[in-house]
Amino acid sequence: MADSVRFALNGDPPKAADCPAPGGSSRRTGGFPLRRLLLWGAGSHERLSVLRDLLQLQVHDLEVEVLTGIYSEETHLPQPLRISVSADIDMPERFDPDTPLSASKSYIDLKHAASTALPRDVHFTLIEAVAEHICDTLFISDPRVQRVEVQIVKLAIAERGESIGVTLVRHRR
């Protein structure tokens, strides 16, 4: 955390005893869980954001064929991509043994967004546009999704097993 950002409790300006110790652990939180701490800008009393718990769902290393590419040798055939998706969603206060699936999100939704939800008849010039489509699909499908990270590796251009691709991160606006 940058030196210019301080933590505060209950919306009040921060006090030295309330600031986290180096390494992120809190010396004192006034009995409040860390997720209720507020970030404040240095020298101001403006609240920047509320720290909150999020559940991160992940699907990694899906291999999908997608029409993508800018070079002539890439534009006529689907290209093999390795896609990984992480989605941060709002979550309940806690997950008890009998918590229903509706309190979370199915991993199948992430897999669908990165595979069957991709249009087969659309050519994506850039793999960044493929990542955008995946993000849009997840944001539209569930208002609890707050952040999506999509990593795409172009498998056809690797020469010695290296990973060449992009990571796109979008936040709900």
pLDDT tens digits for 95-150? 999 999 889 999 999 999 999 999 999 999 999 999 999 999 999 999 999 999 99
- Write down the number of H helices and E strands in the chain: 3, 7
Residue given tokens 């006090």 in the structure block? 15
Q: What is the pLDDT of residue 48?
A: 57
Give the phi and the psi of residue 29 in degrees, each rounded to 5: -125, 10
| Average pLDDT rounded to a whole number, residues 72-101 | 90
Q: Dig out the tokens for 84 from the structure.
A: 């990984």
Domains annotated on the chain, with CATH: 5-50 (no CATH), 54-171 (3.30.1130.10)
Record the pTM: 0.71
CA distance 13 to 173: 27
Q: Is pLDDT at 3 greater than 80 in this prediction? A: no
pLDDT averaged over every residue in the chain: 80
Q: Which residues are CB-contacts of 130 (< 8 A; sequence separation ≥ 6)?
A: 66, 68, 81, 83, 118, 124, 150, 152
CA–CA distance, 168 with 125 (Å, rounded to integer):
16
> For residue 126, what pLDDT is reported?
95
Residue 40's DSSP bridge partners are 6, 47
pLDDT at 52 (0 to 100): 81
Question: Taking 80 as the threshold, does the pLDDT of residue 157 lie above it?
Answer: yes
pLDDT for the residue 42: 52
Of 150, 109, 155, the closest CA to residue 128 belongs to 150
Segment 156-170 shows an average pLDDT of: 91
- Is the separation of the CB atoms in 150 and 139 below 8 Å? no
Whether 169 and 149 have beta carbons less than 8 Å apart is answered as yes
Q: Which amino acid is at 157?
A: I
Q: Count CA atoms closer than 13 A to 23's CA, side-chain side.
A: 2
